[in-house]
Structure 1
Amino acid sequence: MRVHLAALAVACTTLFACPATAHGPTPQKAELRTTIAASPDAVWKLAGDFAGIGAWHPLVRAVKATGGNAPGAERTLVLEKGEITDGLDTYDAATRSLSWRLNTENAEALPVSFYTTTLTVSGAGAGSAVVWNARFYRGDTSNFPPDELNDEAAVAAMTAFFEAGLEGLKAKVEGK
């Protein structure tokens, strides 16, 4: 009986110790804000068009979209290193907010494996405030991802994508 209990104790320790030492990816976050010298309605006219991101985001080379601004709509963004596909989750013109998620990943084009993101336009003095935030996972979700697909690469890529987009939106709306 002692041998069986000792073997059981070793087996249990081994079984439960492995998950404690393993880890997967943790969700990362990015949030950027900008102010635009235009009314929220003028900014929303561009930013609120789910299929229209190519008109103001300089990193988006082309957009193929279906479904308009209805939840469930999809768009494929053509980026420098490939395509990714987003699906629209929510669209609320009254609060000037839309949220979408990555449906089809391409870690070469954008080194993340999944994201959910929200873009919101609100009034800010005589202009507008635009907030773009996301929660996402790195491009390689294994325990030891290569540098180009790790958490830091994912944060850097999402931040750069948001920065370029917000700068492009601001320039387009302000006519610069």
Structure 2
Amino acid sequence: MRKRTFMMALATAALLPGLATAHGPTRQKVTLTTEVAASPAEVWAVLGNFQDMSWHPAVFSTEGENGNAIDATRLLTLGEAGGPTIAEVLYKFSDEKMSYSYRITDVLVEVLPVTNYSSHLTVKPLDGGGALIEWRGAFYRGYPNNDPPEDLNDAAAIAAVSAVYQMGLDALTERFGAAGS
């Protein structure tokens, strides 16, 4: 009986070449931070409204519904009127912790080469004054299958998300001043 089970398993494996070595994309993560001279409350006053992302230079406009309530939505228009859009939904929010989490519900991979994207934005106090702003995300590359094109691979997804975060954090550092300067 064992021999028959072994032979059937061997035959099945022979019929499915490459199955053991095939795999899809892995979840990627990006975390960027900046330290600013303003108090956490001042920074949160700018970042803490899910419906207003005007602080980010890539965002032309934000339209949304339900404020900071769980399941609130927003639609970001990028660049200029009529530019590409990103639809997002809020799934965690805490004024007390100065943080919120959201996920993208709709974006073209040509705009941001990711899928299954979720993100967390938080503001924390720094010892000696100022605030730490942390923006982190987790996502899959824009091409879900094996052998992705270069513009939709893991490196492209990481680079794109990192660039978005860095642009936003740089704008906040410029707005509030760098901590310790």
Number of residue-to-residue matches in the alignment:
171
TM-score if structure 2 supplies the norm length? 0.87
Greater helix share, structure number: 1
TM-score if structure 1 supplies the norm length? 0.89
Aligned partner (choices 131, 135, 152) of residue 132 of structure 1: 135
Give, in angstroms, the shift of residue 15 of structure 1: 5.4
**Unaligned stretches of 5+ residues in structure 1:** none
**Counterpart residue type for residue 123 of structure 2:** V
Contact 1:106 1:113 in 2 (8 A): no
| Partner secondary structure for residue 19 of structure 1 | coil
| Partner secondary structure for residue 166 of structure 1 | helix
**Counterpart residue type for residue 115 of structure 1:** Y
Q: Which residue of 1 aligns with 2:42?
A: 42
Q: Which residue of 2 aligns with 1:29?
A: 29
Equivalent residues in 2 for 1:101-112 (5 A)? Answer: 101-112=103-114
1:4-29 deviations in Å (ceiling 9; x for gaps)? 87973443223565432211010001
1:38-74 deviations in Å (ceiling 9; x for gaps)? 0100000111111111x21011122111110111001
Q: Which residue of 2 aligns with 1:159?
A: 162
Contact 1:66 1:74 in 2 (8 A): yes
**Unaligned stretches of 5+ residues in structure 2:** none
Q: Which residue of 1 aligns with 2:117?
A: 115
Calculate the aligned-residue CA RMSD, in Å: 2.0
1:144-165 deviations in Å (ceiling 9; x for gaps)? 1110010000000000000001
Using the alignment, how far apart are the partners of 2:120 and 2:48 within structure 1?
A: 11
1:114-167 deviations in Å (ceiling 9; x for gaps)? 211101101112100011111111011111111001000000000000000111
Q: Which residue of 1 aligns with 2:78?
A: 79
Using the alignment, how far apart are the partners of 1:59 and 1:11 within structure 2?
A: 55
Residue range with higher mean Cα deviation, 148-157 or 58-67: 58-67
**Counterpart residue type for residue 133 of structure 2:** V
Q: Which residue of 2 aligns with 1:59?
A: 58
| Partner secondary structure for residue 78 of structure 1 | strand
Identity of aligned residues (%): 39
Using the alignment, how far apart are the partners of 1:74 and 1:15 within structure 2?
A: 47
Q: Which residue of 2 aligns with 1:149?
A: 152
